[in-house]
Amino acid sequence: MLNFAAFLALSTMDSAFNLIDKNKLPKHIAIIMDGNGRWAQRYGKPRVFGHRNGVKSVREVTEASAELGIKYLTLYAFSKENWKRPIMEVNTLMKLFVITVSKELSTLNKNNIRLKAIGDLSSLPKETHQALLDAMESTKNNDRMTLVLALNYSSRWELTEMAKILSKDVSQGLLSSEDITESDIEERLCTSTFPDPELMIRTSGEHRISNFLLWQLSYAELVFSDTLWPDFKKEDLYECILDFQRRERRFGMTGEQVVKS
């Protein structure tokens, strides 16, 4: 019979965690947290039951990412298209964001995690916006990992805003239209201070981007997991990272060139 300590040692030995090459971690992981509604449906519960349980996965994945040494984790929490959902669901989600951000604040600070948010934040309900501003202010000096919440975010909105800023800067003579570079665009996106994600995970078996980081995901590896978000735990994240590490990232070059470099 195995004693408890031996059992624990064996079970961690089996974990995908041990197979991850800690020197080849993605610096930035972005996740489309999908499947809360279907998860709730499986239990015969209303969709918001899924959202509440999804928060537990947010906690697990944030913790696992920080433990591994991931520097940036972006979580897609609410898209601009999600306003089309039933008003009850939207209201509950907005309240859930306030409660969660306030409740997790001390843990974020304890774990030295900085909170940031991208999206059309000023159009969020006042309390949701304020809770985010307070949490961002309180965690601004933390430097172990940056947790980015994409809230009231959509990539086409972000790119349209970027175009407005860019054209204003051109009309004010700050730069000329012929000289616009990729960096000029990047500097005017909500993500200007973050590196591009190398790994994008979507849960729940859906194989689409749903208006998420269209510019920034240009060269990301896409990993699709069938697991519904409330069931997505540390081990699932490790498996996705392993999948990422097994891939050859060519960036337009040939396989031979990549092997040599």
Shortest Å, Cβ 34 to Mg ion: 4
Q: Does 208 bind ligand IPE (CB under 6 A)?
A: yes
Of the pair 155, 204, the CB lying nearest ligand IPE is at: 204
Q: Report the alpha-carbon distance of residue 228 to residue 206 in Å, rounded.
A: 10
Whether 82 is catalytic: yes
Residue of 3, 23, 34, 134 marked catalytic: 34
- Taking CB under 6 A as the criterion, the residue among 34, 104, 198, 231 binding ligand IPE is 34
Whether 18 is catalytic: no
Q: What is the DSSP letter of 83?
A: G
* Region of 13-21, 33-41, 116-124, 127-135 interacting with ligand IPE (CB under 6 A): 33-41
Stretch 3-32: interaction string toward ligand IPE, x if CB under 6 A: -----------------------------x
Provide, for the chain, the percentages of residues in helix, strand and coil under a 3-state DSSP scheme, each rounded to the nearest 5: 50, 15, 35
CA angle 28-29-34, nearest 5°? 155
Of the pair 150, 162, the CB lying nearest ligand IPE is at: 150
Of the pair 48, 189, the CB lying nearest ligand IPE is at: 48
| Widest pairwise Cα distance in the chain | 77
Shortest Å, Cβ 62 to ligand IPE: 16
Q: Shortest Cβ contact with ligand IPE: which residue?
A: 37
Q: At 113, is the secondary structure helix, strand, or coil? A: strand
Strands 113-118 and 145-153: parallel
Torsion of CA 103, 104, 109, 113, to 10 degrees: -160
Q: Report the alpha-carbon distance of residue 135 to residue 126 in Å, rounded.
A: 14
Q: Report the alpha-carbon distance of residue 166 to residue 175 in Å, rounded.
A: 9
- Taking CB under 6 A as the criterion, the residue among 25, 30, 33, 48 binding ligand IPE is 33
Name the site residues for ligand IPE (rule: CB under 6 A): 32-38, 76-79, 82, 93, 204, 206, 208, 210, 229
